[in-house]
Amino acid sequence: MLQRIGVIGGGTMGRGIAACFALHGFSVNLAEPSAAQRATIRSEVADGFRLLVDENFVDADTAVTAFDRIALFEALAPAVQDRDFIVEAAPEKMELKQALLAEIDGLAPADAIFATNTSSLPLAPMVAALPEARQVRTLVTHWYNPPLLMPLVEISAFGNMPSDLLEEVVTLHRQIGKRVAKVAKDVPGLIANRIQQAIAREVFSLIEQGVADAVDIDTALKFGPAFRYATTGQLEVSDFGGLDIWLTVGDNLLAVMDASKQASALLRRKVAEGKLGVKSGEGFYQYDPTSTSSVRRAFLGRLITQLKASRTYP
């Protein structure tokens, strides 16, 4: 049974992943080499737990106990040496992840299972230099941000992992309340990010062509397709609509829609101009620098509303 969890990298994702496991009773060692990052982890995890208590997801005592289950380390060795399941959430660079996994391999128990939270890198080259016995114990567990609130974890082992081990990892994530999507092939982006990029490509193209402004495009998405998507997947939607209708409309529209093979030129221009979104005060919308934290809180509030509703979703 997987009981002792190691999380490597305590940035945006690692601290949230550690908090989720701790909240559900698991002992968590979190390794973070940067002193600046380590200094912010405890207060941010405490803020996350406070939100869950305020919203009645957990009681205050559970949050206090969970907080005490997270041990923070600067060095890798003490964080991984007695762990059953170790997930790395270090920066998205292939060479860094390859070196990190090799180092952990030399420190962790031989039977520990390794996971990478990579968003876009293929697993096969990442584990190629590991001993065969470790390769078959390494997989992708891809969380969504923010980890405390987003239910999805995509799990992909590209067919090399014995099915009983894979099921153990799936069970572990279900135990902490996550909705698991298993991915049968080692494809970059897995399922959810690929779908999201396909939608984003058309959205950026529509705004670049001047078809509608940002508010109208987001309204069309939120109160049209995405309104259904929270409860009903694309394949279910297609079945409800009728595959003959989807065939006709697909033939009509796909021929005239954006099919570019790289990120939007509009996005490239905005990034070059320093228009990065909420963090810079302007993206597709404008943000008053004095209200950034309330904008972020409102976003979390919407996720909380959705999370509450999603308890009844199939």
Ligand X SMILES: NC(=O)c1ccc[n+]([C@@H]2O[C@H](COP(=O)([O-])OP(=O)(O)OC[C@H]3O[C@@H](n4cnc5c(N)ncnc54)[C@H](O)[C@@H]3O)[C@@H](O)[C@H]2O)c1
13 belongs to the binding site for ligand X (CB under 6 A): yes
Scanning residues 95 to 114, which ones bind ligand X (CB under 6 A)?
96, 100
Q: Which residue is nearest to ligand X (CB)?
A: 11
DSSP H/E element including 30? strand 27-31
How many positions of this chain bind ligand X (CB under 6 A)?
24
Q: Does 8 bind ligand X (CB under 6 A)?
A: yes
Establish if 10 lies at the interface with ligand X (CB under 6 A): yes
Residue 117 contacts ligand X per CB under 6 A: yes
The residue type found at 145 is N
Among 35, 43, 68, 91, binds ligand X (CB under 6 A): 91
Q: Is 9 in the site for ligand X (CB under 6 A)?
A: yes
Does 54 bind ligand X (CB under 6 A)? Our answer is no
* Closest distance of CB 124 from ligand X, Å: 16
Q: Considering only 27-35, 234-242, 247-255, 268-276, which stretch makes contact with ligand X by CB under 6 A? A: 27-35
Answer yes or no whether residue 14 interacts with ligand X by CB under 6 A.
yes
Which residue lies nearer to ligand X by CB, 40 or 205? 40
Nearer of residues 8 and 70 to ligand X, judged by Cβ: 8
Tokens in use for 139? 């997989």
Listing DSSP states for 33-101 in one string gives --HHHHHHHHHHHHHHHHHHHHTTSS-HHHHHHHHHTEEEESSSHHHHTT-SEEEE---S-HHHHHHHH
Q: Of the two residues 33 and 151, which places its CB atom closer to ligand X in the complex? A: 33
3-state DSSP call for residue 3? coil
DSSP, collapsed to helix, strand or coil, labels residue 125 as helix
Tell me the three state secondary structure of residue 143.
Answer: strand
Buried b (16+ CB within 10 A) or exposed e, 119-135: bebbbeebbeebeeebb
Is residue 145 involved in binding ligand X (CB under 6 A)? yes
- Please report where in the chains the tokens 């990052």 appear, as a residue: 37
Contact positions vs ligand X (CB under 6 A): 8-14, 31-34, 37, 89-92, 96, 100, 117-119, 142-143, 145
